[in-house]
Amino acid sequence: MASGIKDKVAIIGMGCTRFGERWNDGPEELMVEAFQECLADAGIGKNDIQAAWLGTCFDEVMVGKSALSMSMALRLPNISVTRVENFCASGTESFRGAVYAVASGACDIALAMGVEKLKDIGYGGLPEFSTAIGMTNSLWFPNLTAPGGFAMLASGYAAKYGLDIMDVKKAMAHVSVKSHQNGAKNAKAHLRKPVTEEQVMNSPMIAFPLGLFDCCGVSDGAACAIVTTPEIAKSLGKKDIVSVKALQLALSNGTEIAYKWDGAHFATTTKASRMAYEEAGITDPKEEVSMMEVHDCFSITELVTMEDLHISERGKAPKDILDGFYDLSGKIPCQPDGGLKCFGHPIGASGLRMLYEMYNQLQGKAGERQVKDPRYGLTHNLGGFPMMNVCSIAIVGKYHA
């Protein structure tokens, strides 16, 4: 019987670049910048790393295939380096590779890196992906975009709960306002201006009902983590060790898009979160989870995710959001670092960026964003589209706490 990942692996170092339109930096510069911070934080030498994982999504327009880009950029000492890609879960996939390698005993110290250089394509939004959906799908799929795919969820959600879509949009607007408030307090965030609900509601339409301010920043950036066993962490003199409590992934199997689905929830998140709580030993997430970084690629995604994480009741997320439950001052602060919305979303880096915030919060290093006495921090990625997606969830906390 598998015993899960809880407390088998510790994070001893993390690094994260400033996210944003890094016009003068390529993926190599971004990786090196994050790596240097991470290595200094871990207090180890580059040659202590025995295996590494790299998470990127749009390899076609960025680093190319294979993990050679990272091995060469970081001048790693001819160790195993593996590139992983799983849409927006790519960063957490990379982390999962490193964590599992350490947990298995196959190596002592491993590196997980995520990077995305999006601002090299000449147009706004994510790179066009009609060639990346598979030969057969390219014969029939609507020419959808990321905002379009998630915008559909708002219509499905409003219909399921009999809500006026403009009322749902008001709650969605608060999701963005809250993240802008938090992002303004973060020197590494891409978007640092607070906005009003009125500004969000009136922003130009991108994909009905999502306006520009319902969409996250499209950013360049990198983030990374060095992991090892708690024993080695202690032997390195680490105090306040942050350990991995749960690491779960769930992928759609076609049920939502081709069989049965209410169009108002993420089937994958609903399952992955339950598995993660069980792995972490959390029985009442609403009481035990201290803070979250969730995949707010679009405001509606965050809204619905609050229910899929079993924190807001079904149909009640709009009310909880408007009540401030997820504000920095609320019961469970969500996106204390500004989220994808304001920290930005270099896809492969995002999962590790979320962990970077949780890691800093757990160590009391989050400055004016500091959450009081956090116990568990949850991160969540949702790659793909509401009707077919990849969900990853990580829970981290103080070792043996």
Partner 1 sequence: MVGITAYGGYIPRYRLSRMTIIQNMAWYFPVIMAVAGGEKAVANWDEDSLSMAVAAASDCMAGQDRKSLDGVLFASTTMPFADRLNAGIIAAALNAPEEGAMNADFGSCLKAGTTAAVSALQAVESGQKNNVLVAASDLRKSKMATLAEMFTGDGAAAVLFGRDNVIAEFKGSYSTSYDFIDHYKGSGKDYDYLWEERWVRDEGYGKIIPQAIQGYLKKYGASIADFHKVVYPCYFSGTHREIAKRLGIDPSRVQDNLHTVCGDTGTAHPLLMLSAALEGAKPGDKILLAGFGQGCDVLGFEATDKIKGFKPARGVAGSLAARVDLANYQKYTKFKDLIEADLGIRGEANPNTSLTALWRKRKMILGFVGAKCAKCGTPQFPPQPMCVNPDCNEVGCFEEYEFADKSGFIQMFTGDLLSPSVDPPAVYGLVDFEGGGKAFLDFTDCDLSQVKVGMPIAMSFRRRAHDRVRGFTGYFWKAVPKVQG
Catalytic residues, which ones?
88, 345
Stretch that binds partner 1, among 148-156, 221-229, 273-281, 303-311 (CB under 8 A): 148-156
> What is the size of the binding site for partner 1 (CB under 8 A)?
45
If binding is defined by CB under 8 A, does position 166 make contact with partner 1?
no
Residue 337 in 3-state DSSP?
coil
In the list 45, 64, 77, 125, the residue contacting partner 1 (rule: CB under 8 A) is 125
Which of 1, 2, 139, 187 binds partner 1 (CB under 8 A)? It is 139
Shorter beta-carbon distance to partner 1: residue 263 or 315: 263
Distance CA 334, CA 321 (A): 10
Does residue 54 contact residue 66 with C-beta atoms inside 8 Å? no
| 148 makes contact with partner 1 (CB under 8 A) | yes
Q: Which stretch binds partner 1 (CB under 8 A): 78-86, 135-143, 306-314, 336-344?
A: 135-143
Give, as one character, the DSSP assignment of residue 20. B
By CB under 8 A, is residue 383 in contact with partner 1? no
User: Which span sits near partner 1 by CB under 8 A: 15-23, 151-159, 184-192, 314-322?
Assistant: 151-159
Q: Are the CB atoms for 347 and 219 separated by under 8 Å?
A: no
Question: Taking CB under 8 A as the rule, does residue 384 contact partner 1?
Answer: no
Q: Is 161 in the site for partner 1 (CB under 8 A)?
A: no
C-alpha–C-alpha distance, residues 379 and 295, integer Å: 8
Choosing from 66, 131, 196, 235, the residue that interacts with partner 1 (CB under 8 A) is 131
* 387 counts as binding partner 1 under rule CB under 8 A: yes
DSSP state of 204: P
Q: Alpha-carbon distance 382 to 20, whole Å?
A: 21
Instruction: Note whether 145 binds partner 1 by CB under 8 A.
Output: yes
Q: Where are the beta strands (DSSP E) in 183-288?
A: 205-207, 210-211, 221-228, 242-251
* Structural tokens at position 124: 């706004």
Cross-strand pairs, 210: 207
Q: Does 162 bind partner 1 (CB under 8 A)?
A: no
Cα–Cα–Cα angle for 267, 345, 149, rounded to 5 degrees: 45
CB-based contact 343:18 (threshold 8 Å): no
| Alpha helix positions (H), 309-386 | 317-322, 339-342, 347-362
Question: Amino acid letter at 140?
Answer: W
Binding of residue 235 to partner 1 (CB under 8 A): no
If one asks whether residue 136 binds partner 1 (CB under 8 A), the answer comes out as yes
**Can you list the positions of beta strands (E) in 265-400?**
289-293, 376-385, 388-398
Return the number of the residue (81 or 151) whose C-beta is nearest partner 1.
151
Per-residue binder mask for partner 1 (CB under 8 A), 85-124, x = binder: ------------------------------------xxx-
Where along the sequence are the contacts to partner 1 (CB under 8 A)?
121-123, 125, 128, 130-131, 135-136, 138-145, 147-149, 151-156, 158-159, 205-210, 253-255, 257-261, 263, 386-387
